[in-house]
Amino acid sequence: MFDLTSTSVPEITRFKIKSHFTNSMTLLSPTITFTVYCSWDYPITEVVAPFDPQIVVDGTSSGYVLPEYTHPQIAGCPITNLELSLEGGNIVTPSDLEYPVEENGKLIVKPVVSNTLAIYVFYVKITAEGVYSPNGDSFSYFGPYQLNVGCFSSQVIYGHGDNYVDNIPLFASNRTATCEIVPTSTA
């Protein structure tokens, strides 16, 4: 009689069976192997879907905050790889996005050039290690995710009291450094 250390953590256990017979003979079996392995078909999921699209101000060091990913056997079969892609099902590495960095416990995807108005659409491939699996690793694609850098509202409405013009559409394509609002006469 024996116990496996765990069935949720990959391991290989090898043993032999020793049989004792009444005539004082013993027989030792060939080595027997039990393998607890990580399957290739664990469903990887987002813990909470991210807000999408995410908008950041151009010229800052902000980026897209990725969700946390998990699967049913995460304790013994960890997520070991994250890849960015321009396609959801095939790795085409984007040249204009940096590899995610960890900031305050969150993975952040940042543009290579942060001071340019741009829209970045990308996917993430998550891989969970298939330890001892005869079928390889488990993986899933997520996205599309969208990162907007700059001002992407169709217009901005500004209002300030009765003596001011209270509807001035400012379109994203007409970027200005300052905006002066002149009061109108009510008389």
Q: What is the pLDDT of residues 7-33, one digit of tens each?
A: 556 667 777 888 888 888 888 888 887
Question: Which range is most confident: 146-155, 159-168, 178-187?
Answer: 146-155
Q: State pLDDT tens for residues 25-76.
A: 888 888 887 776 677 777 888 998 888 889 888 778 889 999 999 887 777 7
Residue 38 lies in a domain: no
- Look at 126 and 14; give whichever has higher pLDDT: 126
**Phi-psi category of 166—alpha, beta or left, where left has phi over 0 and alpha has psi -120 to 50?**
alpha
Q: How many structural domains does the chain have?
A: 2
Residue 105 lies in a domain: yes
For residues 159 and 130, membership in a common domain is answered with no
